[in-house]
Amino acid sequence: MASGTAGGAIDAARRRQTAVWVAREILPHEHRVRAWLRRAGAAPEDSDELIQEAYCRLAMLEAVDHIDSPYAYFFSIVRNLLVRRLKRQRIVPLETIAEIDAYHDDRPSPEQLAAGRLAYGKALDLIARLPERCRRIVQLRKIEGWSQRQIAEHLGTTEKAVEKQVWLGVRFLRQAWSQAEQDADDLMGEHEQRGGRRR
Amino acid sequence: MTGPVTGSGNRQSAGAIADEAAAWVARLDAEGWSAADEVLLEQWMAADPRRRGALLHAQACWVALDPPAPRARATVRRRGLFMAAGGAIAASVAGGFLWLAGGTTYRTEIGEIRRVPLADGSTATINSDTQIEVTLASRRREVRIASGEAWFRVAKDPARPFVVEAGQVVVQAVGTAFSVRRRDGGADIIVTEGVVQVWAAQADGYRTSLVAGQSAFFGDNAAVRISDGPPSAVDRALAWRSGAIDLSGQTVAHAVEDFNRYNRRKLVLADPRLAGEQIDGIFRTDDPEGFAKALHDSFGVPLDTSDAAAIRIGHANIVSDAEGTSSPMSLHQHGKETRP
């Protein structure tokens, strides 16, 4: 019993630690990997799957502290997954696989990496775009630091109802991130020098 | 995202998995997360390997909303303080990093290893059972180690030296990476990158430089013991950063002391003759059971695991005759690897 609980607590702490690291080092730059996948010819559903699988690899790590360049690490996982997927689809000629490395990713500069870590302004932006009730609850939870229970008492509702709004918030935020990514990608597409794939 | 399920039968779509993951994150964020919840979550994740990634993604989206500096310090025990300071946090969000001006305390529990980004771009990786205070002033970046150990990767800023105090011992760097462990009567310093200067607060003026690959013990009385081991020795000594204990010819006594730093369930060497034996292997810091099993397997010593608070290794009085001679005590055992 003791070891099970302790193990669970350690797992939970490790998961959270990894999530904080991902939020800081990967999430702000995920759109660059997505843009690269698109140039390399991956369909949107495939991109979703590959990205999810790459996050899965990160989630399996015992620790992330030893990773010196998180973006490059994440990118190389996605790249390897794409290569593996192309190899499985026998119809794709070998040259196509070799070609994917010709589509350069927009590797973030050190300044962009530093900016990504401080992208709290963007997070506030995203909160502002939530539907009203959801936004109010997320603000109380994240900016004011109230617990879900305190929010429920304050709003005269149940904790389950608050939890549901948090759920909607997380879903919305995920979509908002990818929407923001889309915007960034469109912007980048205009300046695209090397043509990957016609759109 | 929530497109139709394509291809193979009832395979869940990435979007559907992501929605379920979001529900788990909301649940995790609520009060009263229990061991039973943790088991349910583990079961959910185990059923499809993609779910683990979806949970990480959703959790990252959620924690990305946390104010950068204050949340890093908000451990469970600080909750009350954090709540009371709600207004102050909202203010500091608007004003950048005002919050840090007064100094920030980070504390880890036994077994907890935490990586904390500092506002200047440096990071502190804080070992088990440690307390440090960080003050980022305009002229100087100061860290005081009240107890325990931390490894720092320092962002270059020549105008603001990065100074770590551990008792009477002071370590200064501009842009480099090093660890400091406070001990009774001094501190251990390990340099992984660049150069640091070390001095004792009492021995005014006298400074020693340490370069990458060097480690040293500095006494409060300015006594210095520098060792130039092979580069791998430094990595081994800092394996805790990735949750590992890396043993290469260390004594069993040393290893036991190490494991007991990270775990509430203590290892007890009931057979003192085992203490001086050497052992090799890489173990997880949170796996004293695995280490005890390795001792059992390599030295043929019995284990007593009936006590939840301790694992007793070996009998105090008996030496098993036949087995004792057939498995030599100097046999090296390789433990399980922590990384794939």
Q: Is residue B332 part of a domain?
A: no
Quick one: which of B215, B148, B141 has its CA closest to B175?
Answer: B141
- Domain-embedded: residue B160: yes
B333 located within any domain: no
A-facing residues of B in 251-290 (CB < 8 A) are 264-265, 284, 286, 289
Q: Across the interface, do A174 and B49 touch by the CB < 8 Å criterion?
A: no
A41-56 per-position pLDDT tens digit = 888 888 888 999 999 9
**Cβ contact B234:B190 at 8 Å:** yes
Same domain, B213 and B170: yes
Residues of B in contact with A177 (CB under 8 A): 61
Q: How confident is the model at residue B266 (pLDDT cuts 50, 70, 90)?
A: very high
Contact criterion met (CB < 8 Å) for A13 and B65 = no
Contacts of residue A123, Cβ cutoff 8 Å, sequence gap at least 6: B64, B65
Q: What is the pLDDT of residue B26?
A: 96
CA pair distance A26, B205, nearest whole angstrom? 44
Write out the CATH class of domain A119-199. mainly alpha
Q: What is the ipTM of this complex?
A: 0.84
In angstroms, the first-to-last Cα distance of chain B is 31
B58 and B74 assigned to the same domain: no
Statement: residue B260 has pLDDT above 60? yes
Pick left, alpha or beta for residue B222 (phi over 0 → left; psi -120 to 50 → alpha; otherwise beta).
Answer: left
For residue B174, pLDDT over 70 is answered with yes
B314 closest CA partner among B326, B296, B293: B296
- Domain containing B202 equals 105-233
Q: How much is the pLDDT for B178?
A: 93
Q: Which of residues 25-64 of B touch A (CB under 8 A)?
A: 25-31, 33, 35, 38-39, 42, 49-50, 52-64
Tally of domains in chain B? 4
Q: What is the CATH number of the domain that holds B311?
A: 3.55.50.30
Q: How far is B184 from chain A (nearest CA, A)?
A: 28
Task: Give the nearest partner residue to A62 out of B54, B243, B289, using CB atoms.
Answer: B243
Query: B266 or B12: which carries more pLDDT confidence?
Result: B266
Q: Which of A14, A56, A163 sits opposite B30 (nearest CB)?
A: A163
- The residue from B193, B210, B233 where one domain ends is B233
Which of the residue ranges A36-40, A117-121, A138-142, B285-289 would you say has the lowest mean pLDDT? A117-121
Q: Do both B210 and B176 map to the same domain?
A: yes
The reported pTM is 0.47
Asked if B163 and B170 touch (Cβ cutoff 8 Å), the reply is yes
Tell me what percent of chain B is helix, strand and coil, each rounded to the nearest 5: 35, 30, 35
Mark whether B258 and B302 lie in a shared domain.
Answer: yes
Q: Provide the 8-state DSSP code for B337.
A: -
Asked if residue B333 has pLDDT above 60, the reply is no
Q: Are residues B113 and B221 in the same domain?
A: yes
- For the ranges B67-76, B78-87, B244-253, the lowest mean pLDDT is seen at B78-87
Domain shared by B173 and B219, yes or no:
yes
Asked if B323 and B270 touch (Cβ cutoff 8 Å), the reply is no
Please state, in angstroms and as integers, the Cα–Cα distance from residue B97 to each residue in B51, B87, B125, B138, B248, following that order. 36, 14, 20, 12, 43
Residue B338, domain member (yes or no): no
> Region B88-114: what's the mean pLDDT?
58
Shared-domain flag, residues B35 and B118 = no
